[in-house]
Chains A and B, each alone.
Chain A
Amino acid sequence: MAGGSSIDVLGQFELHPVIGGLGQALRLSQSPIYMAVAVCLVLAFLYYGMKPKAVVPGRFQAAAEICYEFVRNLAVDTIGPEGVAFFPFIFALFFFILAGNYLGLLPFSFTFTSHIAVTFALAMMVFLVAIIVSLKVQGLKFFAHFMPAGAPVALAPLLVPIEILSFLSRPVSLSIRLFANMVAGHVMFDIFASFVIMLAGLGFVGDVLAVGPLVINVALMGLELLVGVLQAYVFAILTCIYLREAVAH
């Protein structure tokens, strides 16, 4: 990370093929491996959490149930009664992103949500699902949304392109929000950690001064734990809002 006199903050985002040539041929990097780990962790959490099937839940089961009910309420409260159908999708999105964000906070690990390709693919998936649901539920009336109700017809040439642009910018803002948050957080980690190492090379005074960036990194870890869950929540609730628009008659 700290390479002598300069700091390589972007090296942590590099992808490396796993299992050598086969990984290269299959385009398999550590990123999908971490995705698989994240998915397995969430599924294992639900499996072992719900294993007792107790009427009066223990801590682990209560945690699994809270996760379930949190996302379910999020989906149903935002989308409405139709939200039940989208609940597994919202749950998958929320916990895929949350587990990805949190896995990335472990030392020496990799954050797949810090890759724009991943976040943009997720955002495009949400965007396409919303469009498909819109067309299915509202039919051609879906296109009427691009003309705000009650606006003067004369303004249509101005309003319709703006509305279309704002609609099309959704996947972009959705993906970049998550990507930029993750990248910024991990770059900050790397910078302050590098400060610690570089200051430590200056002898006793440096050792004392190195406490500063170390403390900052501890605080940053707290911030990143918050950002990790917040970004997953934002992604999930924006998806819910788009889907509410899609199912609204």
Chain B
Amino acid sequence: MRLSVTSFRRVVLAGASCAPLLLAAAPEAHAAGMPQLDFNNPLVTGQVVWGGVVFLFFYLALRGWALPKVDAVLQNRSERIAGDLDQARAAKAEADKAVLELRETKKAAAAEAQAHLDAVLEHERASAAAKLAEITERLDDEIARAEAGVVAERERALQSLRPIAVDVAESLVERLIGARADRAVVEAAVARATAQAAH
């Protein structure tokens, strides 16, 4: 049993490995018993024709129907991914622009506020200065007026002092010389003395 198995194996392996030779010598191959090499069997050659029909159908079905379907799905996916990426990129650009705009606006607003503040400060400073000047002027006025009043008062006081001084001088002269001095002379002397004192 074992022997027949090994001899069969040998025949088969020899047949398989010497296939080109067997193919070249088909009648001997037929004797070796490989059904594939029995080219007198119409079923063997019939495979070629039927196989051609089946393969042609397969090729046409693949080319015209099955593969374009796969291709459409893959195309759709890559387009979709590309579209989504573009959209994301556009959104990012927009966001960047918005951030930039925000920053610009913020900067402009800060500048405006600063300018406004400066203007207000300037205005306040100016108005304060004006007020100060006005007050100073008024005070100067008042001081001048007060000084003038003081001078007038002193003048008036001096004027009212003169008759007293004349009286005092007249009575002093009377007491010293025992006689009444001429009032006009006394008056002139007092005037001279006060003029000297004023200087």
Interface residues of A (CB under 8 A from B): 5-7, 9-11, 13-17, 24, 26-29, 31-32, 35-36, 39, 42-43, 46-47, 50, 53-55, 61, 64-65, 68-69, 87-89, 91-92, 96, 112, 114-118, 121-122, 125, 172, 176, 179-180, 183-184, 187, 191, 194-195, 198
Contacts and interface: CB of A to CB of B under 8 A. Distances in A.
Interface string B7-25: 0110011001101100100
18 contacts: A28-B50, A31-B43, A31-B51, A39-B57, A43-B58, A46-B70, A50-B69, A68-B74, A88-B67, A91-B62, A91-B67, A112-B47, A115-B44, A116-B19, A118-B48, A122-B55, A172-B20, A194-B5
Interface of B: 1, 4-5, 8-9, 12-13, 16-17, 19-20, 23, 33-37, 39, 41-55, 57-59, 61-63, 66-67, 69-74, 76-77, 80
Nearest to A47: B66
A14 B34 CA distance: 8
Nearest to B74: A65
A88 B63 CA distance: 5
Of the candidates B19, B33, B77, the one having the most CB atoms from chain A within 10 angstroms of its own CB is B19
Contact of B41 (A10, A15, A43): A15
B12 A9 contact: yes
A35 B50 CA distance: 9
Contact of A88 (B34, B44, B54, B59): B59
A122 B54 CA distance: 12
Of the candidates B44, B48, B53, B54, the one having the most CB atoms from chain A within 10 angstroms of its own CB is B54
A41 B57 CA distance: 13
B58 to A, nearest CB: 4
Contacts of B67: 46, 68, 87-88, 91
B16 A121 contact: no
Nearest to B58: A39
Given A27-B50, A115-B44, A179 B19 contact: yes
Given A68-B70, A115-B36, A32 B12 contact: no
Contacts of A15: 35, 41, 43-44, 47
Kindly list the 6 A-B residue pairs having the minimum CB-CB distance in the complex, ordered from nearest. Answer: A27-B46, A32-B50, A88-B63, A15-B43, A29-B43, A46-B66
Of the candidates B43, B55, B66, the one having the most CB atoms from chain A within 10 angstroms of its own CB is B43
A15 B38 CA distance: 10
Nearest to A115: B36
B73 A65 contact: yes
A115 B39 CA distance: 11
